[in-house]
Amino acid sequence: MNTTPTTPKSKSTQRAFWLAMALIVILIGWWVLATPRQAPEPAGAAATAPLPAGSEVAVFAGGCFWCTEADFDKVPGVLATTSGYTGGKTAKPTYAEVSSHTTGHAEAVQVIFDPSQVSYRQLVDYFWRTIDPTVKDRQFCDIGTPYRTVIFATSAEQLQTAQASLAELEKTKPFPEPIVTQLRMADDFYPAEAEHQNYHQVNPKRYDFYRAGCGRDARLVQLWGALAKP
């Protein structure tokens, strides 16, 4: 044990030390409060990141965007996927607004792909087999216009490709019901809130429970047989 008595000089030194520390804390706090902060990007703000060189963009609405995003993440040549909203009249909509069925938007996924690895036609052909194209304004357990199926072409060439794919499918489909999926030119795409991005990876148990409970894969097999892409 240190029995050296505290001298007046050492007390003065300690007091000066703590005063200096208090001043530093006050200065740091003032600096944090005074420094301008960048406002957080609002939900639905348009993506501004540049595309990888040589890549292209496709947009698909296939019901719940958690599932559509998960399906396209499996495709070799797909570089990135983003869940979002498109096809409606409201700028920068929120999930709550889209879910209210008042904005006209559909849940959709923006797909960035490398055309040297996978063609747009291959993506369209793949998309058909991940959805039920025989029902209007519904996919599996989700009902309403936000869950309609749409191929949003980002160019006239893409639209022609999608139309050719649809024409071929009408001849070869393994089910008798008519196809009601829409083909149209793309509108502004608004990324969804952060909690909806990569949901199948961030919340795998909840995602698997939702997908199975909705009967998505069971219906795909019933509809497409061995051609299903669950």
Give catalytic residues, as residue numbers: 64
Angle between helices 120-128 and 65-73 (to 10 degrees): 130
Q: Of 225, 59, 69, which Cα lies nearest the Cα of 158?
A: 59
Sequence letter at residue 117:
Q
For residue 122, the cross-strand partners are none
Q: Going edge to edge, which strands form the sheet with 106-113?
A: 182-185, 149-153, 56-62, 106-113, 78-86, 190-191
**Contact criterion met (CB below 8 Å) for 130 and 63:** no
- Strand segments (E) across 67-126: 78-86, 106-113
Instruction: Give the integer Cα–Cα distance in Å for 101 and 144.
Output: 7
Please tell me whether residue 108 adopts helix, strand or coil conformation: strand
